[in-house]
Amino acid sequence: MRMKFFIYGLALFIVSVATHFYLNTGFIFPVFILLLLVIGLFNSIQPKHAILRNFPILGYFRYAFESIAPEIQQYFIERNTNGKPFSRNERALAYQRAKNIDATTPFGTQLDINQSSYEGIKHSVFPAQVNHELPRVMVGGQDCSQPYSASLLNISAMSFGSLSENAIIALNNGAKKGNFYHNTGEGGLTEFHLKGGDVTWQIGTGYFGCRNEVGNFDPDKFTEKANNPLVKMIELKLSQGAKPGHGGVLPAKKNTEQIAKIRGVLPHTTILSPPNHSAFHDAAGLIKFITHLRQLSNGKPVGFKLCIGQTSEFELICQEMILQNSFPDFITVDGAEGGTGAAPLEFSDGVGMPFEPALIFVNKTLIRLNIRDKIRIIASGKIISGYSILRAVAMGADICNSARGFMFSLGCIQALRCNNNTCPTGVATQDKMLIKGLVVADKSERVFYFHKNTLHAANELLAAAGKSSYKEVDGSIFMRGDELTHLSDLYFPDILGSVRDS
């Protein structure tokens, strides 16, 4: 291919030069051809890119198409119901509710509901009255002296660094207006989180915002920030669904001078949080550390977040709670399908228990050990609609957190560029020009309305099931397609007996 390029290129160059001299067409075309030949010569001898060596000019088209492959997939190939991680229909629902516009759909479902995988709510022919008051849940166990009344739906952990300052401010302003909490993520408690909204401060393995000069936990720094009146709860992060067993990742492109100062790290370097905590090393140490954090915060609710891996380890943690007679005020359950700004593909695709079995397991384990009444369970796994809230509650959740749902309310288009600092909507970037595109005043309103309208939809579904309280919700209100069929015959097996007998 290289030989053909140079043969045809030289021939075209000679023709263009001859055309110039005989027809006086100008130098633009010959110069352009010569430039392509020079670029082609360089590409044919460079050692790094095989495609450009073999296809000195055409090879660039491969890189161009690769760069816009996510957009081609999303806008021209993807169907309304099969996009990942969230379908076009799910994203549209979030956008509509955030904009406080009509979120109805025409002409019926686009799902194939005649399949065993179909799942739906068993509605009542005598629906309950829809409650227009948004539900709240009290968090605080036996050792908590400052219990917190939390909304059923809240903003899940997203750090400043992963998200832009405008995104963080808009989220916090929306949380303030809607009276729900905003989880800081492990990147630390910053000025952008303290705009008046309730805050859950997440402490990760890097102890950002409460670390000493060598990166270990600093109780004095923690005490100072934890007692801020806007900080309502403390969440200790053990693991995250998208990368369990792996510390947080902040790419060097997003680690600005400002963020590095907040975190106490070197700027413009990739920050990898340790996979494990240095403040404790086993279940006994974890429970003691949670008790210590509650004491330092003067009795605020303290809990931990994890993605379930080895189930025996979670059971051991629960046994240690009983042994020490000290219980976290809440446990946040993340699933392997959880979101992140940056993670190794092997961890995102192949580590951790999915959200649904993890939530069921945690709930059943706490019930079996007779400690369920002492601990609230917070679900953090692809919560984006009223249906997903009700489903999480049925599997054992008391409270739901959503990250990507609130990102959609900010304008996220699922461009899948969170990790390279080129997010086109200004949500997951530190590029100042891109950040300017996110107008805080407008997006904070959308955060508020997404929360309000999503919870109202959950209330409507609750009433449709004939229930008046979320305490009445369990798995019995849901149906799956395969529970209404016999394996021997998919359709109407009981009425086909006479046909079989003939």
Least confident residue range of 314-328, 335-349, 455-469, 476-490: 476-490
Q: Is residue 90 part of a domain?
A: no
Residue with tokens 């051991």: 316
Provide mean pLDDT across the span 13-38.
Answer: 75
| Domain residue limits at 168 | 136-480
CA dihedral (127, 129, 132, 137) positive or negative: negative
- Out of 67, 82, 97, a domain closes at 67
231 assigned to some structural domain: yes
Check residue 113 and give its pLDDT.
79
Does residue 178 sit within a domain? Answer: yes
67 pLDDT higher than 60: yes
- What does the pLDDT read at residue 54? 81
- State the CATH number of the domain containing residue 383: 3.20.20.70
Please say if the pLDDT value at position 246 is more than 60.
yes
Quickly list DSSP for 303-350.
Answer: EEEEE--SHHHHHHHHHHHHHHT---SEEEEE-TT---SS--HHHHHH
User: Would you say residue 72 lies in a domain?
Assistant: no
Rounded to whole angstroms, the Cα distance separating 98 from 446 reads: 4
Q: Do residues 51 and 147 share a domain?
A: no
Same domain, yes or no: 189 and 297: yes
Whether 236 and 157 map to the same domain: the answer is yes
Contact call for residues 379 and 397 (beta carbons, < 8 A): yes
- Among 171-185, 237-251, 324-338, 439-453, whose mean pLDDT is lowest? 237-251
Are β-strands 399-402 and 153-155 bridged in parallel, bridged antiparallel, or unpaired? parallel
Residue 60 lies inside a defined structural domain of this protein: yes
> What pLDDT is stored for residue 174 in this prediction?
97
Of the residues 16, 36, 67, the one at which a domain ends: 67
Q: Which two tokens stand for residue 1?
A: 């291919």
Dihedral, 307, 311, 315, 320 alpha carbons, nearest 10: -60
The residues, ordered by sequence, that sit 6+ positions from 419 with a Cβ below 8 Å of its Cβ are 249, 251, 341, 342
Percent of the chain with pLDDT over 70: 94
pLDDT of residue 330: 98
Mean predicted confidence (pLDDT) in 202-223: 92
For residues 490-495, give the mean pLDDT.
50
Residue 372 lies in a domain: yes
What's the pLDDT band for 499 if we cut at 50, 70, 90? very low
What pLDDT is recorded for position 486?
53
Q: If pLDDT is split at 50, 70 and 90, which confidence band does 502 have?
A: very low
Are the C-beta atoms of 300 and 264 separated by less than 8 Å?
no
Q: Is 208's pLDDT higher than 80?
A: yes
Instruction: Say if residue 27 is in the same domain as residue 157.
Output: no
- Looking from the CA of 270 toward its CB, the CA atoms found within 13 Å total 9
Position 501 pLDDT exceeds 70:
no
Measured distance CA(161)–CA(341) in Å, rounded: 10
Does residue 143 sit in the same domain as residue 63? no
Q: For position 491, what pLDDT does the model report?
A: 47
Q: Is residue 152 domain-shared with residue 6, that is, in the same domain?
A: no
Domain assignment present for residue 73? The answer is no
Q: Is residue 9 part of a domain?
A: yes
240 and 377 share one domain: yes
Q: What is the pLDDT of residues 89-112, one digit of tens each?
A: 888 889 899 999 987 777 878 877
Total tally of structural domains belonging to the chain: 2
Are 155 and 34 in a shared domain?
A: no
- Distances from the Cα of 177 to the Cαs of 139, 173, 258, 352, 471, in angstroms? 20, 6, 27, 35, 26
241 with 331, same domain: the answer is: yes
* Least confident among 120-124, 173-177, 269-273, 353-357: 269-273
> Model confidence over 381-432: pLDDT tens digits?
889 999 999 999 999 999 999 999 999 999 988 888 888 888 889 999 998 9
- pLDDT tens, residue by residue, 432-447: 999 999 999 999 999 9
* Average pLDDT of the chain, as a whole number: 87
Confidence of residue 369 (pLDDT cuts 50, 70, 90): very high
Do 44 and 178 have their domain in common? no
Residue 35 and residue 155 in one domain: no
Within this chain, do residues 25 and 143 fall inside the same structural domain, yes or no?
A: no
Higher-pLDDT residue of 234 and 72 is 234
Q: What pLDDT is attached to residue 326? A: 96
Whether pLDDT at 31 is above 70: yes
What is the spatial distance between Cα 209 and Cα 161, in angstroms, rounded to a whole number?
A: 13
Q: What is the mean predicted confidence (pLDDT) over 120-145? A: 94
494 pLDDT above the threshold of 90: no
Final residue in a domain of this structure, among 47, 67, 87: 67
